[in-house]
Amino acid sequence: MTVLHSMIGKNSPLDRVRQRNRNAVRARAGVPVVASAPLTVAEEELMREIMIEPMDYMNSPEFKKRDAEKNIYQTPTAIRFADVSWYRPLMANSTGGKQVERKAKKADSVLLSAAQERVIFLQYNYARFRVRQLQDALNDSAPSIDQAREMLRWHGMAKGFRAQIAEINLALVLAMAKRVPLGESDFGDLIGEGNMALMRAVDKFDCGRGFKFSTYGCRAILKAFSRFGIKLQKYRQRFSSEFDPQFEKSNHLETMRAENEKDSAAEVRYMITRNSAELSDIEQKVILHRFGLDSVAPQAQLTLEQVGQMIGVTKERVRQIQNKALEKLKDALITLRGEMPSPTSN
């Protein structure tokens, strides 16, 4: 018997037993034996995960009957997968708006009868039952290639049935979420908790009790929402914090604007000191006092009337002098910007 090479070392006792069994098989009546193809790396990794814990399943008397596999998987009508394209944006939509709800109504939903629901749950649990049988038969020993492929086949079937059942009943999560007040919780987090509760309900539902899955699933989802709310409330009580817009707001623009104003003021002060714009004495005084440039440290800007009182003219005359001086400074700045050294160099 061929054994997984990743689990049994060469020339080990089990490896020698494998060689003896292989030779014995080949010696029987000259019947040739075709070895199974080795597992891929991904299949070996999946086998390790499967072998970590015993597979849980919901037992049923149908599993013990003769030809159980044939009877369980002879479904009169195939159950198709549900359209869940409307549901996937819920995890990214924090508001849970009416647009998603309208998509849910337009989606091609699948409604199972009680008989169909019983069949699909029997198929799901029987696949898990077969995985558990193989696990128990191995008893922590390394599986052969054939055993591994059989376990992977049943595990894949169980995984497919689980996904199909969950997708058919995804609308239960949205329906239960609409009954719960959001409060301080996020809608996406609430939907996530409902999804996990739905998957646990699929694993624990016993179709042999005669109830519909929606009855069991809705109660499980509501209980999960209740636990989530209590957990969130305890967390906020322990780590109480309020939203402060100042922590979320960047001051990069304000900092850049302040630095730009400081550089511009230093540049204008330099031009006035060098008189690059050929301003008159009265024009220099007006600009320095009006824009607080009369010292290195920023000064309060004086009004037109205050400057007029200092130089003995009306505020309208101060406005005229200011506008004329600004025009000179603008022209000089355009001419000298590329020639003038940095104001901080002096």
Specify the pTM: 0.57
Bridge partners, 144 (sequence order): 3
Helix H segments across 183-341? 187-204, 213-238, 245-248, 252-274, 281-290, 304-311, 315-336
- Radius of gyration from C-alpha coordinates of the chain: 40
Instruction: Give domain 40-238's CATH number out of 1.20.120, 2.60.40, 3.40.50, 2.40.50.
Output: 1.20.120
Nearest-5° Cα angle at 55, 53 to 57: 150
Cα–Cα distance measured from residue 146 to residue 152, given in angstroms and rounded to the nearest whole number? 10
Structure confidence at residue 1 (pLDDT): 39
Q: What does the pLDDT look like over 230-280, one tens digit per residue?
A: 888 887 777 766 655 656 666 777 788 888 877 777 777 777 777 777 888
Check residue 140 and give its pLDDT.
78
Residue 25: predicted pLDDT: 39
Contact 145, 5 (CB under 8 A): no
**How far is it, in rounded angstroms, from Cα 154 to Cα 125?**
10
Q: What was the pLDDT predicted at 295? A: 60
* Cα–Cα distance measured from residue 172 to residue 166, given in angstroms and rounded to the nearest whole number: 10
Architecture label for domain 266-345: Orthogonal Bundle (1.10)
* 207, 162 contact by CB (below 8 A): no
C-alpha closest to that of 3 among 145, 136, 139: 145
Specify whether the CB–CB gap between 228 and 193 falls below 8 A.
yes
Torsion of CA 221, 227, 230, 235, to 10 degrees: -110
Beta-bridged to residue 3, according to DSSP, are 144
Domain boundaries, the chain: 1-35, 40-238, 266-345
Longest dimension (CA), the chain: 128
How confident is the prediction along the chain (346 residues), in pLDDT tens digits per residue? Answer: 343 444 444 555 445 445 544 444 343 344 444 456 888 999 999 999 999 999 999 999 999 999 999 989 886 556 777 777 766 655 555 444 455 555 555 556 778 888 889 999 999 999 999 999 999 999 878 889 999 999 999 999 999 999 999 999 988 998 898 888 776 667 888 888 999 999 999 999 999 998 999 999 999 999 999 898 888 888 777 776 665 565 666 677 778 888 887 777 777 777 777 777 788 888 888 888 887 776 655 567 788 888 888 888 888 888 888 888 888 888 887 776 655 444 444 4
Q: In angstroms, rounded to a whole number, what is the distance separating the alpha carbons of residues 332 and 346?
A: 19
Residues ≥6 apart with Cβ < 8 Å to 197: 173, 220, 221, 223, 224, 225
